[in-house]
Amino acid sequence: MKLPDASDLNDRELQLNVVVTQVLFLTVAAVGAWLFFGDAFHPFSQWNFSRAALFTGAVLAAAVLVFELILWFIVPRRWFDDGGINIRVFRNMPWPALAAVCFLVAFAEEVLFRGVLQEQFGLLAASLLFALMHFRYASKPFLLFVVVLISVSIGVVYEWSGSLAAVVTAHFIIDLVLAGIIRLRLTEITTGGDLHG
């Protein structure tokens, strides 16, 4: 019996899968926080929302996006190809839904990977688990390398700032810009390719 994969889903089902996965991550985060810290809402004690946190997140996002832009021009475009998954998720998504999905992804993943896993197991373990979550990149070493590098960068900023708000902001901006590029079809201008997210 063959397990279903992304090619077995239509675009709408794939989009729904993204949302359901993030809700699952939030559920795992709540259970993990309760098990490890005795409080399902423990990650929010690290929220530390402030203008400085938003600025820190925006600076990290800008650095990551500049890094990705530089890579876009120096490595073969095919290295950015994720098999078309991100195109299928974001290409025809209405802008409000795109922004909401990007926020949900950033919020859920950072609550789980920084607010729970990094707090409990440390930066390296959380970054490796984040990379494992992106198992679809296992056969795409360049994309896996970029995801790990971004994850470690986000983890370092979390350690430095102590602010979940900073890393959620960074993750949201990165995903929103990359998804927006896909939505605007800017990757087609030169290559017909794809940027990962």
HSE at residue 132, side-chain half, CA atoms within 13 A, is: 7
- For 105-142, letters b (16+ CB in 10 Å) and e give bbbbbbbbbbbbbbbeeebeebbeebbebbeebeebeb
pLDDT tens-place string over residues 163-196: 999 999 999 999 999 999 999 987 654 444 444 4
Alpha-carbon span 136 to 133, nearest angstrom: 8
Give the max Cα distance, the chain: 52
For residue range 110-165, list pLDDT tens digits in order: 999 999 999 999 999 999 899 888 877 778 889 889 999 999 999 999 999 999 99
User: How remote is the C-alpha of 142 from its chain's centroid?
Assistant: 16
Instruction: State pLDDT tens for residues 63-108.
Output: 999 999 999 899 998 888 888 888 888 999 999 999 999 999 999 9
Contact 32, 120 (CB under 8 A): yes
